[in-house]
Structure 1
Amino acid sequence: MTDTLHARTQEAPASIDAPDRTRKARKRSTYPMWFYAPAGVIYGALFVIPTFASFYFALTRWTIFDSEFIGLENFKTFFAEPYLFESLLNTLFYATFTSGAKVVLGLLLAVFLSSQIIARGYLRSVVFFPVLVSAVGVGVTFSVLMDPFDGLINKVLAVFGVEGPGWLTDPDLALFSVAFVDVWRGVGLATLIYIAGIVAIPQEYFEAAKVDGANAWHRFWHVTLPLMRPATTTVIILSLIGGLRSFDLIWTMTKGGPGFSSDVLASVVYKQYQAGFYGLSTAGNVVLFVLVAAIIIPLFWFLNRKEVDQ
């Protein structure tokens, strides 16, 4: 009995001191949070504040010097644009086509460039190089190459007796042509993400599959592809966001033409800004922001939930 009381008296101070140690640990753990302050200030100044300001200015008729609150008039005018529905369809098509092509081509290139081939490092650099070039530079270069009369592409086709089409002057081909250039420019980033995912897969899985008699196709389908789901999610989300917001390449190559055949939401907004309708263009930016959020957030949640279920 005496030993029990003695043991309890020894344990009591430890239990009393425990909350104090917990509070001290919490105080120590919150100190590094101050290191987030500079990044938080920059993020708030460059993203949060302008985002909320754009929602307000979308409800006004504004210039650099003054603004007048007009409610939802800008949104009514924006949705009354005659070619808005066509530009919306172009935006969805462009984003879907480019993101899908980047997923498929990026995965195939990553598998090829992760195998034991000659000059593997050099080929990886070549594939990634277009990502480093500005979209404006790429657009200007391909505008020259795709010229229907003096472009190198049509001249090469003429050597083989094929009459090249108007890649950027044909309304049925203009958006496709820009989309192919976008895929050429952006597939390097998708390939890099997939290569990182492939390298992270433990080799034991492939060795076990070989022992079970799986050939190269079975190893790809049953080992590589399922374990690349996080990389695929990343590529899909990044490519879709880029495709929905795409402007610079389209504007450099076609300016939304011929006519309105390659107009996307971002180019419609820019044309309104060029015309001096600043409040209307701000409303268009808000619509584009809501569209991207409405597509990306549910898709991101769905893809991540499938990862957890797997």
Structure 2
Amino acid sequence: MLFCVFIFYPFLKGIMISFTNWDGYSQASIWVGLDNYKRMFDDPNIGTVVKNTFIYGLGSTFFQNLIGLLYALLLNRSIKIRGLTRTIVYLPVVISPLIMGYIWYFIFQLHGGALNDIILPFRDEPINLLADPEKNVWIITFVNTYQYLGIAMFIYLAGLQSIPKDYYEAADLDGASQWGRFWHITLPMLAPSITINIVLNVIGGMKLFDVIVAMTNGGPGYASQSLSTMMYQMYFARQDAGYAASLGNLMFVLISVISLVSLLYLRRKEIVR
């Protein structure tokens, strides 16, 4: 019942709204059929927005898994301050994404930003990285990676600690190298953890919203917009709920297809213990 009320009904309602010209506030709306979808595919900015959405999703997934796995491998060893390091890496996760975005905005901003305060003595003028269309998307991806790699790290740590020690002892008897142990034992046995991390990271990255709003608000123009921020602006700033709903449906389809394909492919690669 709760699923129907809070998930299924809003989903169906969103599909219905996408076929109307509803402004999001009034009681009246007109059925326009597929006009919103035609408009969406004719929109000159939709290509940039979809590309950015993929960068946020796939870029964050790649870096979170790579760095998270490296941290997990390091912190799975018996080293000093291991617990403290784990806490420091995980700490950004508990911070609101909006607050995290503003923290990094104050680092990268043009006037008075911490980065420019550091480099200004060595150059004539400050740099405005957040206004650079070729860099701001990757900066946002970096911030999202920084905030959530702690989750990936702990999932990998759980996977590492569940690998039976007998496998490594047998590999040592066979004279396997460190790389051989990792490639033939650790990585295959981590397949379930890899599956969980990739699917979660793809979903989280492709629906990224708060950090974008805090750092660039999607600008300049549509240079750093994602489907979620464009949908928000169309609904609340332009009162174009029908078009916003069509963008939301496109985002749902893209996330569903990519996450489902990733899940099915990675599940086939997992080792049954």
The TM-score normalised by the length of structure 1 is 0.82
Q: Larger C-alpha radius of gyration, 1 or 2?
A: 1
Checking the alignment, whether the CA contact within 8 Å between 2:189 and 2:271 is kept in structure 1 is: no
Q: Deviations over 1:184-214 (max 9, x none)?
A: 0010110011001001111111122222222
8 Å contact kept, 2:191–2:269: no
User: Do structure 1's residue 268 and structure 2's residue 234 form an aligned pair?
Assistant: no
AA aligned to 2:19 is L
- Cα deviation per residue 1:143-167 (whole Å; 9 max; x = unaligned)? 0011233211233344677976322
| Residue aligned with 1:55, SS | helix
The reply on whether 1:56 has 2:25 as its aligned counterpart is: no
Q: 1:238 aligns with which of 170, 187, 200?
A: 200
> Which amino acid letter does the alignment assign opposite residue 258 of structure 2?
I
CA distance in 2, matches of 1:159, 1:189: 38
Number of residue pairs the alignment of both structures matches: 270
1:154 to 116, 119, 132: 116
Helix, strand or coil at the partner of 1:168: helix
2:234–2:244 Cα contact (<8 Å) kept = yes
Residue 53 of structure 1 and its aligned partner are, at CA, apart by 1.4
The answer (yes or no) to whether the contact 1:98–1:243 under 8 Å persists in 2 is yes
Q: 2:186 aligns with which of 191, 216, 224?
A: 224
Query: Partner residue of 1:282?
Result: 245
Q: Is the 8 A contact 1:60 1:69 kept in 2?
A: yes
Match of 2:220 in 1: 258
**CA-CA distance at 1:108 after TM superposition:** 0.4
Q: Is the 8 A contact 1:102 1:186 kept in 2?
A: yes
The residue aligned with 2:5 is 45
| Deviation for aligned residue 1:135 | 0.5
Does residue 297 of structure 1 match 2:257? no
TM-score for the superposition, normalised by structure 2: 0.92
% identity of equivalent residues: 33
Q: Does 1:206 align with 2:172?
A: no
Deviation digits for residues 228-254 of structure 1 (CA, Å, limit 9, x no counterpart): 011111111111111111111111110
For residues 163 and 303 of structure 1, the distance between their equivalents in structure 2, rounded to whole angstroms, comes to 48
Unaligned runs of at least 5 residues, structure 2: none
Unaligned runs of 5+ in 1: 1-40
Residue 40 of structure 2 corresponds to: 78
Aligned pairs (5 A) from 1:21-36: none
